[in-house]
Amino acid sequence: MTLSVAESSYLYDSLQQSPPIRPDGRKINQFRPIQTNIGFLESTNGSAKITLSDGSECIVSIKSKVVEKAAIASGRENLIDVDVEVPGYRDDSAFISNLISTLQSIYTNYISRESLNLTSRFTYKLFIDVLVIANYSYPLSLISFTTYLALKNTYLPKLISSVDDKEIEEQPTFHDYEFNRLEIEVPIIFTIAVINNNYIMDPNAQEMEVSDNGLIISWYNRKVITPIETIKLNEGHVKAVKPELIINSIDLVKSLGDSVIEALNKAE
Amino acid sequence: MDIISISKGAEYGHSNIEDDEYEYDSDIDVLMEDEQRGDDVDRDEKIKTSVVTPGELVIDDPIWMRGHGTYFLGNETFSSVAGTISKVNRLLSVKPIRGRYEPETGDHIVGRITEVGQKRWKVDIGAQTDAVLMLGSVNLPGGVLRRKSESDELQMRSFLKEGDLLNCEVQSLFQDGSASLHTRSLKYGKLRNGVFLKVPSSLIVRAKNHSHNLPGGISVIIGVNGYIWIRKTPEDSNAGNSTNLSKNAAAINTKGQYNVGNASVSITRLEEESSWEIYSDVNDPISRSLRDTITRYSNSIKALAFCEIGISVDRIVSAYDASMAQVDLGKLIDREVMESIGAEVINGEKYRGQ
């Protein structure tokens, strides 16, 4: 997205006032309205879609597979596999691999193994497939919110065979139609743009284009967690972030993390 | 306080269609009310006059010539797009509701430079192909009778560069439907002091004049291509004419702003006014309250577009008035608020009998 010089200086001037005037009039802690759809992909264990007001759209599907714990312990398989597809970017581009590695590590670290546990020898493995249909701003927040909804609404087949198969070898068998809801806490990631002395939540494309720098801050179980890192929101025009702004941004996330989680939990 | 508003997405399947019908509808129906009275069919011609959808039978009479947006099987003509039927003599075509902007000569549009080339700029105007702006079709610093020299060709980027927004008119069309633009009037030129927003071009109501002063010290350029520029009213704009900011005056202004006498004055002023100033990238100082007003106008226009209401200056002003019910600018992006603004604009028009 290219802006004209006059346009970007107008935006920058508006955003660096205190409080900042955002191009769509939002407050610094206000998100763009989202629309949600949940559980519409029949052949998956869980699915969700979020549409943003600017037309960005993201679909996440969760599929599961039974694997041996030994395979995971030996590192032959990941407990959670994330795959991201964004139109306009090659699968092997730095942008996509960054997104995948961020998501992969945060979900592997924070999704509890017990919740996926089946028997003493077997466990569920989750495949998180992310398809961003259209994106006009940095998609990580959108992806993490959608994944949150999908994982919170994931149903796994109910085990009917015995849980203890250490002594007697037994393949796990499942109930024909009953499912158990996956009960887990899922981390989410916030995107914040930094402009001069201001920091704004959930920047849109225009705000990203004029921002000095970007931050991602993650939230899990009512606490701020890593990764907390800077990201490049535009080509060129990147300035250093003042340390106090990082502290302020973390405080901002702390102040609204709970209400975002609450709002997402209410979505249907 | 609401920091994130979440609504349920549309259900897939039939319920969606019903929803669309009973929620207040696109503006097209409002405009077509007269034709629709009675039944859906024009009795003489046996042609549907309402909105058609892709694959819908338009007419089974082979006498009609098939224009854009139609296809035929045997004697029957079907619509290939969703839109309204237009008949010109014996030519039958369907005008799509959504789709890219189709330039026409004389359209006042807003465009963004995408490329600087040999003696010409390429301009994104939201059409299928980029438009062309020739070096010979712009006013250069130094007046109207100035010859374009080689040095002008070499410093084209200092006039207009990639990303710049400009306000221009379609001069002519090429064979392939792409447009050639010009900015040879003081009304046109580079845009400063404001914000840009995009709406579907089909929502723009064509009018005599597409550049208006609005209450609150704001001006708007409603490009026919759906690109809109909202800015602080330039200080010298029509100094003699009127920059009255009350609501009634805005309406008078709409009619009286562009007339022949006015234009002839501007040609004599051209020499002094077309200095380097017209290609400046520096914004004037803009106060905080003006910036807030610009944001409010921009959100009001987005609300109109969200409700699929045709955009004209009167409606922008009434949407702006309706938005005043929300002191908080951030509230204006919520679905319910946008819907209520749309409903209020339509109701207001009904009461006034428009």
Angle at Cα B280 formed by Cα B277 and Cα B283, nearest 5°?
110
Q: Looking at the domain assignment, is residue B117 inside a domain?
A: yes
Nearest one of A250, A190, A200, A217 to A11, comparing CA atoms: A200
Strand order from edge to edge, sheet including B76-79: B57-59, B76-79, B70-73
Question: For B230, which residue in chain A has the nearest alpha carbon?
Answer: A7
Distance CA A198, CA A68 (A): 50
Q: Is residue B186 domain-shared with residue B209, that is, in the same domain?
A: no
Q: Is residue B61 domain-shared with residue B132, that is, in the same domain?
A: no
Q: Looking at the domain assignment, is residue B37 inside a domain?
A: yes
Question: For B192, which residue in chain A has the nearest alpha carbon?
Answer: A6
Q: In a mutagenesis test of the A interface, which of B1, B5, B6, B296 is the best target, namely the one with the most A β-carbons within 10 Å?
A: B6
B10 contacts in A (CB within 8 Å)? 35
- Tell me what the mean pLDDT of segment B151-177 comes to: 91
How sure is the predictor about B23, in pLDDT bands with cuts at 50, 70 and 90?
Answer: very low
At B116 the pLDDT is 94
- The 10s digit of each residue's pLDDT in A230-247 is 998 888 788 889 999 999
For residue B76, give the CATH number of its domain: 2.40.50.100
* Inter-chain residue contact B162 with A2, CB threshold 8 Å: yes
For residue B186, give the CATH number of its domain: 2.40.50.140
Distance CA B128, CA B148 (A): 30
- Tell me what the mean pLDDT of segment A48-59 comes to: 92
- The 10s digit of each residue's pLDDT in B145-163 is 667 788 888 888 989 999 9
Q: Give all domains of chain A, ordered by start, each with its CATH number.
A: 14-266 (3.30.230.70)
* Nearest CA distance, B293 vs chain A (angstrom): 10
Range of the domain at B244: 237-278
Q: Looking at the domain assignment, is residue B272 inside a domain?
A: yes
At B249 the pLDDT is 40
Q: Is residue B230 domain-shared with residue B156, that is, in the same domain?
A: no
Tokens in use for B329?
Answer: 């600018």
Instruction: Select the residue of A2, A32, A49 nearest B333 (Cβ to Cβ).
Output: A32
Total beta-carbon pairs less than 8 A apart between chain A and chain B: 118
Cβ of residue B9 closer than 8 Å to a chain A Cβ? yes
- The 10s digit of each residue's pLDDT in A76-85 is 889 999 999 9
Cβ of residue A262 closer than 8 Å to a chain B Cβ? no
Q: In a mutagenesis test of the B interface, which of A26, A34, A258 is the best target, namely the one with the most B β-carbons within 10 Å?
A: A26
How sure is the predictor about B278, in pLDDT bands with cuts at 50, 70 and 90?
Answer: confident
For residue B9, is it left (φ>0), alpha (ψ between -120 and 50) or beta? beta
Whether pLDDT at A90 is above 80? yes
Q: Is residue B264 domain-shared with residue B338, that is, in the same domain?
A: no
Q: Looking at the domain assignment, is residue B2 inside a domain?
A: no
pTM of the model: 0.83
* Inter-chain residue contact B295 with A21, CB threshold 8 Å: yes
Distance CA B111, CA B122 (A): 10
At B274 the pLDDT is 55
Pick from B222, B257, B278: which residue ends a domain?
B278
Q: Looking at the domain assignment, is residue B9 inside a domain?
A: no
Q: Looking at the domain assignment, is residue B230 inside a domain?
A: yes
Question: For B281, which residue in chain A has the nearest alpha carbon?
Answer: A6
- List the single range of A36-45, A230-239, B66-75, B260-269 with lowest mean pLDDT: B260-269
Whether pLDDT at B354 is above 90? no
Residue B3 C-beta-side C-alpha neighbours within 13 Å = 18
- The 10s digit of each residue's pLDDT in A102-133 is 999 999 999 988 889 988 889 999 999 999 99
Distance CA B303, CA B344 (A): 11
Cβ of residue B351 closer than 8 Å to a chain A Cβ? no
* Nearest CA distance, A267 vs chain B (angstrom): 7
Pick from B249, B278, B307: which residue ends a domain?
B278
* Inter-chain residue contact A30 with B196, CB threshold 8 Å: no
- Tell me what the mean pLDDT of segment A124-146 comes to: 93
Whether pLDDT at A216 is above 90? yes
Distance CA A130, CA B97 (A): 32
Phi, psi for A229 (deg, rounded to 5): -150, 165
For residue B301, is it left (φ>0), alpha (ψ between -120 and 50) or beta? alpha
- Tell me what the mean pLDDT of segment B207-217 comes to: 93
Contacts of B133 (CB under 8 A, 6+ apart): B111, B113, B120, B121, B122, B123, B160, B166, B168, B180, B181, B182, B183
Q: Looking at the domain assignment, is residue B274 inside a domain?
A: yes
At A125 the pLDDT is 94
- The 10s digit of each residue's pLDDT in A244-263 is 999 999 999 999 999 999 99
Distance CA B354, CA B346 (A): 10
- Tell me what the mean pLDDT of segment B116-137 comes to: 93
Distance CA B11, CA B9 (A): 6
Is the separation of the CB atoms in A193 and A208 below 8 Å?
yes
Instruction: Select the residue of B194, B195, B334 nearest A33 (Cβ to Cβ).
Output: B334
Q: Is residue B211 domain-shared with residue B309, that is, in the same domain?
A: yes
How sure is the predictor about B28, in pLDDT bands with cuts at 50, 70 and 90?
Answer: very low
What is the count of structural domains for chain B? 4
B287 contacts in A (CB within 8 Å)? none
Q: Is residue B228 domain-shared with residue B244, that is, in the same domain?
A: no
Q: Is residue B174 domain-shared with residue B60, that is, in the same domain?
A: no
Tokens in use for A184?
Answer: 């887990």
Whether pLDDT at B297 is above 80? yes
Q: Is residue B86 domain-shared with residue B102, that is, in the same domain?
A: no
- The 10s digit of each residue's pLDDT in B219-258 is 999 999 999 999 999 876 554 333 333 333 444 444 444 4
Residue B148 C-beta-side C-alpha neighbours within 13 Å = 15
Rounded percentage of chain B residues whose pLDDT exceeds 90: 47
Cβ of residue A73 closer than 8 Å to a chain B Cβ? no
Cβ of residue A265 closer than 8 Å to a chain B Cβ? no
**Between residues 126 and 185 of chain B, which touch chain A (CB distance below 8 Å)?**
162-165
Q: Looking at the domain assignment, is residue B334 inside a domain?
A: yes
How sure is the predictor about B19, in pLDDT bands with cuts at 50, 70 and 90?
Answer: very low
Q: What is the mean pLDDT of chain A?
A: 91
Q: What is the mean pLDDT of chain B?
A: 80
Cβ of residue A17 closer than 8 Å to a chain B Cβ? yes
Q: Is residue B75 domain-shared with residue B126, that is, in the same domain?
A: no
Contacts of B121 (CB under 8 A, 6+ apart): B113, B115, B132, B133, B135, B156, B160
Distance CA B225, CA A250 (A): 43
Q: Is residue B168 domain-shared with residue B180, that is, in the same domain?
A: yes
* Inter-chain residue contact A5 with B163, CB threshold 8 Å: yes
Hunting for tokens 């938005």 — which residue is that? B323
**Between residues 235 and 294 of chain B, which touch chain A (CB distance below 8 Å)?**
281-283, 286, 288, 291-292
Q: In a mutagenesis test of the B interface, which of A18, A30, A59 is the best target, namely the one with the most B β-carbons within 10 Å?
A: A30
Entry field: residues in chain A: 268
How sure is the predictor about B288, in pLDDT bands with cuts at 50, 70 and 90?
Answer: very high
* Nearest CA distance, B2 vs chain A (angstrom): 8
Tell me, what amino acid is at A145? F
Q: Is residue B58 domain-shared with residue B200, that is, in the same domain?
A: no
Q: Is residue B196 domain-shared with residue B317, that is, in the same domain?
A: yes
Q: How far is CA B278 from the centre of its chain?
A: 23
Contacts of A21 (CB under 8 A, 6+ apart): A14, A15, B288, B291, B292, B295
B6 contacts in A (CB within 8 Å)? 33-36, 263-264, 266-267
- The ipTM, to two decimals, is 0.89
Question: For A268, which residue in chain B has the nearest alpha carbon?
Answer: B8
For residue B307, is it left (φ>0), alpha (ψ between -120 and 50) or beta? alpha
Pick from B133, B168, B191: which residue ends a domain?
B191
Asked if the bond preceding A243 is cis, omega within 30° of 0, the reply is no
Nearest one of B228, B248, B250, B215 to B323, comparing CA atoms: B215
Strand order from edge to edge, sheet including B227-232: B194-198, B227-232, B218-222, B211-214
Nearest one of B296, B129, B134 to A22, comparing CA atoms: B296
- List the single range of A158-172, A246-260, B22-36, B212-226 with lowest mean pLDDT: B22-36
At B113 the pLDDT is 95
Whether pLDDT at B260 is above 60? no
